[in-house]
């Protein structure tokens, strides 16, 4: 690893797949999603849904929000469930209570009572309770009903529990079977792939934090096919950029050019990414290095 970093003059890997808040880059798309999520939870609206394809940044946005909420413990109490798929309501409620560091029990009625006592105590203490459910598309239909029931936990004027659902787009088909729950969702946002300028800015940001210069490492002729192959999906952008750097290192090249990027894409052909191939782009215009950096 040290040789790889030294070769490119980097202090740390710029495209690690491990979520790292220090590398978070708030694009306009992500800023919008974060602002909406914050508004609906602060206003105690009950349910907020953030949808997006795999790799669009749902977890990153949620982590930014959770870190902010947890830094203000006098105002917020946050629980997060990474895998909400257990099929039985008691098992699901145990996960919910455990996420808030509350004791759990076996009986469903006891679980519901314990959760309500906890929510009332937090409300009386002036804290907003937020539950973040990742991978919400894996929720069992019975627990969609459980979530519906949880939205009924309220005072005469305010919801006692704010639930943020992070889900892939196929979640909407489950919601079609639960119109009562769907009607309770107060707000939402759907993440799309980044626009070309935002995608390149994200990559520049990550490389700069790692101590390098993206435009020095990736020839301008690679920018367009890099974006086209990944459709601007942040995770895929990082995977392909990392693979391209590894390919360049293996070839002894300090710059990712069209041939190197094509080699990286060939190695990742199992991902079945679409978009324009680097070799095609290179044949069309071998002198694109003279164009302004970031031209989509």
76-81 and 185-191 strand pairing:
unpaired
78 SS3 class: strand
Tokens 């952008």, located at residue: 237
Residue 296, pLDDT > 50, answer no
List Cβ neighbours of 101 (8 Å cut-off, separation of 6 or more).
Answer: none
Q: What is the CA radius of gyration of the chain?
A: 23
d(CA 237, CA 230): 6
Q: How much is the mean pLDDT over the chain?
A: 89
Q: How many CA atoms are closer than 13 Å to the CA of 17, on its beta-carbon side? A: 7
Question: What are 178's two structure tokens?
Answer: 């639960």
User: pLDDT band for position 274 (50/70/90)?
Assistant: low
Measured distance CA(39)–CA(43) in Å, rounded: 6
> Per residue in 22-38, pLDDT tens?
777 778 888 899 999 99
Handedness of CA 13, 15, 19, 24 (dihedral sign): positive
As a residue count, the chain comes to 296
More confident residue, 193 or 119: 119
At the topology level of CATH, where does 28-191 sit? Rossmann fold (3.40.50)
Range in 22-26, 54-58, 209-213, 241-245 the model is least confident about: 22-26
Whole-angstrom CA distances from 174 to 75, 81, 125, 191 are 33, 19, 36, 19
Domain map of the chain by residue range?
A: 2-17+194-290, 28-191
Helix, strand or coil for residue 48?
strand
Distance CA 21, CA 240 (A): 20
Alpha-carbon distance of 139 to 118, in angstroms, equals 23
Nearest to 92, CA basis, from 172, 163, 183, 175: 163
Q: Could you report the per-residue pLDDT of 187-219, keeping only the tens digit for each? A: 999 998 899 999 999 999 999 999 999 999 999
Q: Say what the pLDDT of residue 272 is.
A: 85
CA nearest to 233, candidates 19, 12, 18, 58: 58
The answer to whether the predicted template modeling score (pTM) of the entire model surpasses 0.85 is no
Q: Is 58 helix (H, G, I), strand (E, B) or coil?
A: helix
């Amino acid at each position: 690893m040290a040789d790889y970093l030294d070769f490119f003059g980097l202090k740390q890997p710029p495209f690690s797949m491990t979520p790292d808040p220090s590398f978070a880059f708030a694009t306009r798309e992500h800023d919008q999603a974060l602002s909406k999520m914050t508004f609906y939870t602060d206003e105690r609206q009950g349910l907020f849904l953030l949808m997006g394809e795999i790799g669009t940044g749902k977890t990153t946005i949620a982590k930014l929000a959770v870190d902010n909420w947890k830094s203000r413990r006098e105002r917020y109490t946050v629980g997060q469930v990474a895998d909400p798929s257990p099929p039985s309501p008691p098992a699901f409620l145990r996960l919910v209570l455990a996420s808030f560091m509350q004791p759990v029990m076996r009986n469903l009625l006891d679980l519901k009572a314990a959760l309500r006592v906890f929510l009332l105590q937090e409300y009386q203490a002036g804290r907003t309770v937020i539950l973040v459910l990742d991978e919400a598309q894996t929720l069992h239909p019975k627990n969609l009903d459980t979530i519906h029931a949880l939205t009924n936990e309220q005072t005469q004027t305010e919801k006692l529990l704010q639930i943020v659902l992070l889900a892939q787009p196929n979640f909407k088909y489950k919601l079609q079977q639960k119109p009562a729950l769907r009607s309770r969702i107060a707000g939402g946002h759907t993440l799309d792939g980044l626009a070309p300028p935002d995608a390149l800015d994200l990559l520049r940001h990550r490389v700069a934090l790692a101590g390098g210069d993206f435009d020095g490492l990736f020839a301008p002729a690679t920018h367009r096919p890099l974006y086209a192959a990944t459709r601007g999906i942040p995770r895929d952008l990082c995977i392909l950029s990392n693979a391209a750097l590894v390919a360049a290192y293996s070839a002894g090249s300090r710059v990712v050019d069209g041939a190197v990027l094509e080699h990286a894409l060939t190695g990742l052909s199992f991902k079945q990414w679409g978009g324009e191939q680097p070799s095609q782009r290179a044949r069309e215009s071998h002198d694109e290095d003279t164009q302004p950096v970031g031209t989509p």
